[in-house]
Structure 1
């Protein structure tokens, strides 16, 4: 039987069928990124959890921030930027968002346990957003789950306009708590290792003209058949920022126990996606691992959409997401979480995690996973916003995004330039790094070609 996240409400299914060469841009971007990452680590201030860098690729442009223990002195987060902090074993951290009356706000928090952390099913984080009177606009938790395997977990705090609570312009507070096996932050020992945090707040402006205020009508039908065909290799990224682009197709990757891989699928207004993950049979070992492979889907604001996991006995198994409705602005008025979450166009993130418990029973791998991704429906223009979201491209799908989904290009040059801007490296220094990298690469290429030339 397939293991799934517990919803607490009934489900409805939705689907509509339907010689030496010059260095290329990707190579140059790789050199720039490598050089900048070596010298442009985020400014100090947070206490980095030991080993966290090994399991998650933080945004190289992330700014250091230190959360407060309460609302007094809570640092302000600016939408459109990414922040880093670390969460202690006990207590909580609080941050501030200043919002207008017309904009919705989304504040995803990713917590990264250090390498070697022992995982319990109910370990994780809780994220809430509150107004100045202490009214909770939203609360969400993210837990390790049945795999009993420590991994990056993401929960979303949000304030949506048009609701009865948390309306109006003013200050709102984002609170992040550690959850232990006891189910609360207070049950977590203060001496426990800190978990690194990545916080990426987003704002969404209101509409320029009045739009629908109810969810689209039901479109119940059968679940889609998984795509067939020969898989193409596509390794995953190690974080949201470095997520590898995927489009419709059959994809294959290797994954080792304890690893988490990130992919992003561009989904435009009116389109819908579905995904199935298959874990190949093992060539060694015998036994059973619960929650061996976890497949999660997150929205463009990193909000949880849906997830599935599978138990493993060494034979080939699959885990499939529930069918989802087409991406529409009005989905925000749906009651069910998954339907409500597919409210924007943009990059939807597929996240794979292989339980570290697999190593005890079936060896260290790598294990092969096949991803079958279907993107259907008819694209159409999106809503006309009255302002600009932050970041500006978060709800946009471009032709470049569609091409990257085919080629797998991550666009590393943009990340490198953001690291340059935030890291405070001077333009002249950066230019020397870039030119030096290109020179070294060119000399190596020339050496290889010279070595291959026949001698007289």
Structure 2
């Protein structure tokens, strides 16, 4: 019997359904890879930790969910009101909670817009508090601050074991947008020392700027979040950045070592939208911003530079050598370098640069120098336990071959195992999995069609919301500048 035109049999419908399912899976694979650029050409969004657990901040301490040491969480910050999260701490370890707030893509922010974070005891007393604001650079970007419960004999308050609370509050002007902002929380734990802790505040360190590093730059693509940051060892590195974008990198700095980082923004392209023009009409204040964060993602130092189309430089350091006793100092640039491990560089190019020099990418040159003998002045082995998360506080040998352009015009290629390549590999794996599933479904449908068989399968999921809030994980990519 002839089949009416336009009507499909079960087998053909199944094949078409399999094709649609496979296409959908491939589409999901294409958009789920973290750190990818938006389709409309805007800078890539902030990449949230793929292992971040989604939680909701409580509006009071009674309902606050407990955070686990070494874990990363994703939440949102409303326009008004405080959010509470709970910590259960012993008497000997120090706890650090960093908060990275990500404004909505394209949001308009003002000088005073920002947020605060505090760790409080169960009597409402601040153990420590910090705040971050957009300041003179009103370009929307991720803001990071931290708060801590520091243990030790020199601590005056918050010394006992018990329940503590993380308090996050957005601070905005009346005319600021009312949409919620995304939030990434990182809970780090530092164990006590095995022996007596040094208590003397450092009095000085070699502060003479070292000679700038020279040589052929190595190519390294920055990540768009802490978890997507690639490693930079000592040397000269090259990248590109778009207006409105923030790029992250991490540098291994061991106990006793000093870090210096120079970030140079290249000149605008002659004859293009940038034009290399000069004068006040093409002058962008606070155009290039460079911030440094320690292994617990605590702010250490920051600097800014203007831009007028000519190359400009922003310098971090030289910082004090990493020592345990630095934590007793008052200034962030000293107290922040209190443990060895991953130190993060965040480089932001103001959105205003696009208005004067076009939205095309500009060149970046990063000169990273790490001085001093590794292990001098302290060692992770003196901890009575493991810091959490372990990898943030470890300094390991370089394991990321890089692509480098040689002086003779040739190009050498190595296999990088950094976050960028992990993202590519994950995307390729996901797309490959989708194609395999497509072929499997197609084969099954064809066999059923040939045998005239029928059947359908389904799968469902169920879960405990409370258990998910306490221990579950969710892989997500957020949007930001």
Scaled by the length of structure 1, the TM-score of the pair is 0.77
1:83 counterpart = 2:73: yes
Secondary structure of residue in 2 paired with 1:372? strand
Change (3 A) 1:203 1:292: same
Matched with 2:289 is 294
**Among candidates 81, 97, 100, match of residue 107 of structure 1:** 97
Matched with 2:364 is 369
Shift of the alpha carbon at 1:391? 1.7
Matched with 1:194 is 180
**Among candidates 392, 395, 400, match of residue 394 of structure 1:** 392
Q: Deviations over 1:115-162 (max 9, x none)?
A: 110122221111111101111011111122322100011110111112
Q: Deviations over 1:348-400 (max 9, x none)?
A: 0000000000011111121111111111110124351112222233311122x
Alignment of 1:342-381 (within 5 A): 342-380=337-375, 381=379
**Which shifted more, 281-290 or 85-94?**
281-290
Matched with 1:307 is 302
Alignment of 1:47-196 (within 5 A): 54-162=44-152, 163-181=155-173, 187=174, 192-196=178-182
Checking the alignment, whether the CA contact within 8 Å between 1:36 and 1:416 is kept in structure 2 is: no
Secondary structure of residue in 2 paired with 1:335? coil
Alignment of 1:29-48 (within 5 A): none
User: 1:405 & 1:109 partners in 2: Cα distance?
Assistant: 32
Matched with 2:451 is none
**Which shifted more, 128-137 or 408-417?**
408-417
Checking the alignment, whether the CA contact within 8 Å between 2:238 and 2:366 is kept in structure 1 is: yes
Checking the alignment, whether the CA contact within 8 Å between 1:290 and 1:310 is kept in structure 2 is: yes
Q: Deviations over 1:21-50 (max 9, x none)?
A: xxxxxxxxxxxxx98897899xxxxxxxxx
Change (3 A) 1:149 1:40: closer
Matched with 1:403 is 399
User: 2:106 & 2:145 partners in 1: Cα distance?
Assistant: 22
Shift of the alpha carbon at 1:312? 1.2
**Among candidates 225, 234, 245, match of residue 231 of structure 2:** 245
Secondary structure of residue in 2 paired with 1:96? strand
**Among candidates 193, 197, 202, match of residue 211 of structure 1:** 197
User: 1:202 & 1:364 partners in 2: Cα distance?
Assistant: 37
Q: Deviations over 1:330-365 (max 9, x none)?
A: 211222211111111111000000000001111112
User: 1:188 & 1:115 partners in 2: Cα distance?
Assistant: 17
Could you list the runs of 5+ residues in structure 1 that have no partner in the other structure?
1-33, 42-50, 182-186, 420-428, 441-456
Secondary structure of residue in 1 paired with 2:211? coil
Shift of the alpha carbon at 1:274? 0.5
Change (3 A) 1:170 1:86: same
Secondary structure of residue in 2 paired with 1:201? strand
Q: CA RMSD in A?
A: 3.2
Shift of the alpha carbon at 1:57? 0.3
Change (3 A) 1:223 1:93: same
Shift of the alpha carbon at 1:53? 11
Secondary structure of residue in 2 paired with 1:241? helix
Change (3 A) 1:418 1:370: closer
Scaled by the length of structure 2, the TM-score of the pair is 0.73
Matched with 1:28 is none
User: How many residue pairs were aligned?
Assistant: 381
